[in-house]
């Protein structure tokens, strides 16, 4: 069976943790076997912005359970499969299909044409979904807390606050029940109008972020994922109905359905001295 010509149908955005799928293609990949199916509930890691890692999951084929060791976004032009950072084109490039590449043991008993029951570990999925929703919420709260630190008008976030997160973010890592975000305030951020002196008292800033977070989580606001379609590269948005209004952020990850699922959300801000810049690390925790 040839490589697929269409994107993998993904159902994790709707909260699915189990699907029955057809195996479209298998091939060796390093010391593992790459498996592509027509549809999957498994969230893959995307090398372009690897904030949320892969789900833990298993295939059941012919009554035998096969552990999914990793799941990575791949792409194919129907002649060759490229995985992760080796993908040579952007999403949406004509003639290319973007697929979820499930990596299993090299000797796994799975072949093209098989039917597989794919099951995601629900507790791990929930923990990552809590962490990802808390991450978005904390970024909005940080932006609001720093709204007075800007001397110029510039890009704004989903609630209309100056977008410190979007301007200064270097990396974001979703953890079970939280996240770690690294910000860099260098020449370009200062040129955009941000005053680094607003970061002088990180304890006070963290307290203000926590106050805003408490206000929002107490509301129990509803969360949903809007999407253009069910293909891997179809655009998706995280939407939160916050007291200030609807916040809408492009996002391909998984999330809870209500802020009531988060419990208390708090942040810890620490400073890092960088060459020619100020670094700030924000650790977000939910469920406290």
CA distances from residue 222 to 26, 190, 283 in whole angstroms, order as listed: 40, 35, 24
Would you state the pLDDT for residue 2? 80
CA distances from residue 49 to 14, 44, 166, 172, 187 in whole angstroms, order as listed: 21, 11, 13, 9, 23
Q: How many beta carbons lie within 10 A of that of residue 65, not counting itself? A: 10
Would you state the pLDDT for residue 267? 99
Distance of CA 249 to the CA centre of its chain: 11
This prediction has a pTM of 0.97
What length does the chain have?
288
User: What is the H or E stretch that residue 32 is in?
Assistant: strand 32-37
Would you state the pLDDT for residue 172? 98
* Cα 49–Cα 53–Cα 54 angle in degrees, nearest 5: 125
Would you state the pLDDT for residue 225? 98
* Cα 61–Cα 30–Cα 77 angle in degrees, nearest 5: 80
Give the N- to C-terminal CA distance of the chain in Å, as an integer: 50
Question: pLDDT tens track of the chain, all 288 residues?
Answer: 589 999 999 999 999 999 999 999 999 999 999 999 999 999 999 999 999 999 999 999 999 999 999 999 999 999 999 999 999 999 999 999 999 999 999 999 999 999 999 999 999 999 999 999 999 999 999 999 999 999 999 999 999 999 999 999 999 999 999 999 999 999 999 999 999 999 999 999 999 999 999 999 999 999 999 999 999 999 999 999 999 999 999 999 999 999 999 999 999 999 998 999 999 999 999 996
CA distance 140 to 165: 8
Domains, the chain, ordered by start:
9-120 (2.40.30.130), 123-286 (3.30.980.10)
Would you state the pLDDT for residue 215? 97
Q: How many beta carbons lie within 10 A of that of residue 115, not counting itself? A: 12
| List of long-range contacts for 140-149, beta carbons under 8 Å, 24+ apart | 140/165, 140/242, 140/247, 141/209, 141/212, 141/213, 141/216, 141/267, 142/209, 142/267, 142/282, 144/212, 145/205, 145/208, 145/209, 145/212, 146/194, 146/198, 146/205, 148/198, 149/194, 149/195, 149/197, 149/198
Would you state the pLDDT for residue 173? 99
Burial of 132: CB neighbours in 10 Å, binned 0-12, 13-18, 19+: buried
Query: Do 173 and 262 form a contact (C-beta atoms < 8 A)?
Result: no
Burial of 232: CB neighbours in 10 Å, binned 0-12, 13-18, 19+: buried
């Amino acid at each position: 069976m040839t490589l697929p010509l269409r994107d993998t149908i993904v159902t994790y955005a709707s909260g699915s943790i189990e699907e029955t799928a057809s195996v479209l293609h298998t091939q060796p990949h390093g010391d593992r076997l790459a498996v592509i199916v027509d549809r999957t509930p498994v969230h893959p890691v995307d090398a372009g912005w690897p904030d949320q890692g892969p789900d833990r999951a298993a295939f059941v084929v012919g009554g035998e359970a096969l552990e999914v060791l990793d799941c990575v976004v791949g792409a194919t032009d129907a002649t060759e499969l490229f995985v992760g950072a080796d993908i040579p084109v952007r999403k949406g490039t004509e003639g290319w299909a973007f697929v979820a590449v499930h990596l299993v043991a090299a000797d796994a008993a799975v072949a093209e044409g098989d039917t597989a029951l794919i099951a995601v570990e629900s507790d791990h999925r929930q923990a990552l979904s809590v962490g990802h929703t808390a991450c978005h919420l904390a970024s909005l709260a940080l932006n609001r807390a720093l709204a007075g630190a800007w001397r110029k008008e510039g890009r704004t976030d989903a609630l209309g606050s100056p977008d410190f997160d979007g301007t200064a973010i270097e990396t974001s890592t979703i953890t079970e029940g939280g996240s770690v975000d690294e910000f860099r305030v260098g020449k370009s951020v200062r040129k955009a109008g941000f005053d680094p002196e607003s970061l002088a008292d990180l304890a006070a800033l963290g307290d203000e972020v926590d106050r805003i977070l408490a206000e929002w989580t107490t509301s129990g606001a509803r969360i949903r994922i809007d999407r253009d379609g069910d293909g891997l590269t179809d655009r998706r948005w995280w939407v939160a109905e916050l007291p200030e209004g609807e916040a809408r952020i492009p996002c391909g990850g998984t999330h809870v359905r209500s802020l009531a699922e988060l419990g208390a959300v708090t942040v810890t801000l620490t400073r890092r001295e960088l060459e020619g810049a100020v670094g700030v690390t924000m650790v977000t925790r939910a469920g406290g």
